[in-house]
Amino acid sequence: KAGVTQTPRYLIKTRGQQVTLSCSPISGHRSVSWYQQTPGQGLQFLFEYFSETQRNKGNFPGRFSGRQFSNSRSEMNVSTLELGDSALYLCASSPGLVTDTQYFGPGTRLTVL
């Protein structure tokens, strides 16, 4: 079974721009979660989608948004990029039950200049 895939793997943007990251979950998985990983804050939960609905949300500003499509693929968007948004953005998929194991993708490394 193919794992979680994320595109692009690397991205360089400038302050004020916006960016869209994509995640394809493991086949059959209906839940997709997004995390931000930085050296200072570690791994922090952004949001989770299940069957196209946002089921849970972390403490991030409204500039961070996401969506999920009917095929379970998910995108996250960051608008008006700030230098502090430079991070590794990780996507994780699971079958969808509340405590199901999450399987992570390789991440998208975003650098904001």
Partner 1 sequence: QKEVEQDPGPLSVPEGAIVSLNCTYSNSAFQYFMWYRQYSRKGPELLMYTYSSGNKEDGRFTAQVDKSSKYISLFIRDSQPSDSATYLCASFQGAQKLVFGQGTRLTINP
The footprint of partner 1 (CB under 8 A) covers: 4, 31, 33, 35, 42-45, 48, 50, 55-56, 58, 90, 92, 94, 96, 98-107
Nearer to partner 1, 14 or 52 (CB): 52
Comparison of 20 and 37: residue with beta carbon closer to partner 1:
37
Quote the CA–CA distance of 95 and 26 in Å, as a whole number: 9
DSSP per-residue letters across 65-111: EEEE-TTS-EEEEE-S--GGG-EEEEEEEE-SSTTPPPEE---EEEE
**Closer Cβ to partner 1, 27 or 56, answer by number:** 56
- Minimal distance, residue 31 CB to partner 1, in Å: 6
Residue 84 CB neighbour total at 10 angstroms: 10
